[in-house]
Amino acid sequence: MSDATRDDLADLFAGCRAELYSAVIADTLDSFGYRRQVLPRALRPLDESLILCGRIRVGVFMPIFHDDETVNVYENEIRLVDDLKVDDVPVLICHGNLDIAPWGELLTTRAMQLNAAGCVTDGCVRDVARIRAARFPLFCGGFNPSDTKYRGKLMWLDVPGKIGNVEIESGDMIFGDVDGIVAVPQAIARQVVAAALDKVRAENKVRDALLSGMSLAEAFETFAVL
């Protein structure tokens, strides 16, 4: 990934974490005509209080059924994690394979040292208690103590991928909170974030109006936001 690609969204992430949430980003993507950007509901956060926001780094796993000196099962996983930059989020695509846990405590420790912004996988994770204690934002398909060794290998890095119906690429923006995860294509990320911030500020006005006693119908007629 080029430095220009990496830097393109860097200034957005802090503002997104401070003001945005997944629902408003999903609504905004809908308004842009991108209506399949919410990752499967089965992917849940280890800690519902944390927000994940950063730049996708795709890693694609395939099943394996043995390990020997020629397989070198961890080589690409190590390569991906050691190459993480500030605000990167490894998105590990296991095609829904819950028999492997491609992420655990030691990868978390290294990722945090590199100031990565979290991890997403449709596989499982392990070392859950330690990752929660580290307060590292992580979404996964479940928990499983089984290692990838003998079971799966990360084969491709920074290639286009798909989780559920959502197409993702390295460099895209990803945002996750207690409601779920949305992926924002890099080409429209700035426009989507700007529009989402406008929507949040409009929703704040609606909330204030409702708290002052305005009816929902009148608030919607006034602000056209729901």
pLDDT confidence bin for 116, thresholds 50/70/90: very high
115 close to 86: Cβ distance less than 8 angstroms: yes
* Residue 105 annotated as part of some ligand binding site: yes
* Residue 77 annotated as part of some ligand binding site: no
Is pLDDT above 90 for 1?
A: no
pLDDT confidence bin for 3, thresholds 50/70/90: low
The pLDDT tens digits of the residues spanning 81-110 come to 999 999 999 999 999 999 999 999 999 999
Can you give the pTM of this predicted structure?
0.90
User: Picking from 3-12, 96-105, 108-117, which range would have the lowest pLDDT averaged per residue?
Assistant: 3-12
* Residue 107 annotated as part of some ligand binding site: yes
Mean pLDDT (whole number) for 146-175 = 96
Q: In angstroms, rounded to a whole number, what is the distance separating the alpha carbons of residues 182 and 173?
A: 8
* Residue 114 annotated as part of some ligand binding site: no
Neighbours of 184 (CB within 10 A): 29
175 close to 200: Cβ distance less than 8 angstroms: no
Please name which of 56, 79, 65 lies closest in space to residue 154, comparing C-alpha atoms. 79
* Residue 104 annotated as part of some ligand binding site: yes
Is pLDDT above 90 for 9?
A: no
Is pLDDT above 80 for 7?
A: no
Domains and CATH numbers, the chain: 3-194 (3.50.30.40)
Is pLDDT above 60 for 4?
A: no
Mean pLDDT (whole number) for 12-20 = 91
Proportion of the chain above pLDDT 70, given as a percent: 96
pLDDT computed for residue 6 by the predictor: 58
7 is written with which tokens?
A: 């830097």
